Amino acid sequence: METILLLAHTEPDGTLAKPALEALAAALALAGELTVGLVGGQAGPAANQIAASGATRFLAVTGGPFAEARYSTDAAAAEALCRTAGAAIVLAPATSRWSRALPGVAYRIGGRVDTHATSLAVENGVPTVTRWFYRQRMEAALTRTQRPWMVLLDSGCVPAWSGPAGAAEVEAVAVEPPQTRTTVTGIQAPKSDEQTIRPDAKLLFVAGAGWTKKQADGAVHGPEAESLILGFLRSAKASLGGSKSLVDLSGEGEAVLRFMTHLNQIGQTGSTPRHSKGLSTCCHGEEPHVVGWRFVNQRRAVNLDPNCGWARGKADVLYVADAFAVMRKVNQLLGG
């Protein structure tokens, strides 16, 4: 088997997050000689965390300039690690940080890169990557003769590596930080319980445009829709998705569902998240939306219309019911 380099950036506490541990598991399954290349403010805790994984060498580019996510410093660090390791296959988790930096690094080192890989395995002695095309409608298996071959592995596709910590010996790779025009002075982010997109949640809750439409009494019930949806998300720790019609409405500055943005959009022109269950409410279930449910294993929908798209083989269970009444009751049962 060819030599492998796993690239991982460390978290602020110096450890590795789940996507890196998933990529590590995929790298180990290739059964080749594995080098780990770490980038971050510090690398010791990460190297110790995976010391017992079977990796034979630990390289690290560390220091203040490499702690922040930034194309120029991330690319410089990754390039140095690739050149030092000289590995044929470079695997990295498809975090926003690596997705941004590694295609440029592949160009610098004369390699090739494949993004959104869902697996990397040796088949008949040949490393093979799988990925989906045409908005997750077709799965392809790819091989390449070009080396180095960089592969960005999507999260949630491989069980994360777990094992006891140990003591790893880390070789420092010196990199002169490139000049940067920006200085990171701090991070402003909503509190984690205010985040509505939770990739690790068991349940995807989708809100459609029906929440903003006139209801049986002839009125729109925006504030109640907001409180029912947010109440459910808080109790169920679900991730929030939206149909395109709904997120477009929010983008127009409508007074309804202010927490909904285009980042929540599921579907052909939105995202295709991986959750074990999905509950769609007030959403018609049209094909361009449902194609985003490709990796949701169990699908349920609540719609007033018994002929909605979900009824046509797209949902496992369709509740023909008023979503306001259903979610009021569900929240009550959840103690909200």
Ligand X SMILES: Cc1cc2nc3c(=O)[nH]c(=O)nc-3n(C[C@H](O)[C@H](O)[C@H](O)COP(=O)(O)OP(=O)(O)OC[C@H]3O[C@@H](n4cnc5c(N)ncnc54)[C@H](O)[C@@H]3O)c2cc1C
Residues that bind ligand X (CB under 6 A): 208-210, 213, 215, 243-246, 265-270, 282-284, 286, 288-289, 292, 302-305, 308, 322-324
Phi (first) and psi of residue 283, to 5 degrees: -125, 135
Residues 6+ apart with CB under 8 A from 62: 38, 39, 40, 41, 42, 43, 172
Place of tokens 């939770």: 198
Compare residues 76 and 228 and give the one whose CB is closer to ligand X. 228
Compare residues 158 and 209 and give the one whose CB is closer to ligand X. 209
8 Å CB contact between 229 and 191 = no
Residues 6+ apart with CB under 8 A from 116: 94, 131, 132, 152, 154
CA distance 312 to 240: 23
Compare residues 111 and 241 and give the one whose CB is closer to ligand X. 241
Cβ at position 262, least distance to ligand X in Å: 10
Cβ at position 245, least distance to ligand X in Å: 3
Sign of the CA dihedral with 68 first, then 73, 78, and 84 last: negative
Cβ at position 196, least distance to ligand X in Å: 16
**What is the chain's length?**
336
Compare residues 92 and 283 and give the one whose CB is closer to ligand X. 283
Is residue 243 classed as helix, strand or coil in its secondary structure?
Answer: coil
Compare residues 148 and 285 and give the one whose CB is closer to ligand X. 285
Spell out the alpha helix ranges (H) of the chain: 18-29, 44-49, 71-85, 96-108, 222-236, 244-251, 287-290, 323-333
Cβ at position 94, least distance to ligand X in Å: 20
Cβ at position 209, least distance to ligand X in Å: 3
Compare residues 91 and 308 and give the one whose CB is closer to ligand X. 308
CA distance 204 to 277: 6
Cβ at position 100, least distance to ligand X in Å: 23
Sign of the CA dihedral with 19 first, then 149, 57, and 33 last: positive
Cβ at position 186, least distance to ligand X in Å: 34
Spell out the alpha helix ranges (H) of 13-95: 18-29, 44-49, 71-85
Compare residues 230 and 304 and give the one whose CB is closer to ligand X. 304
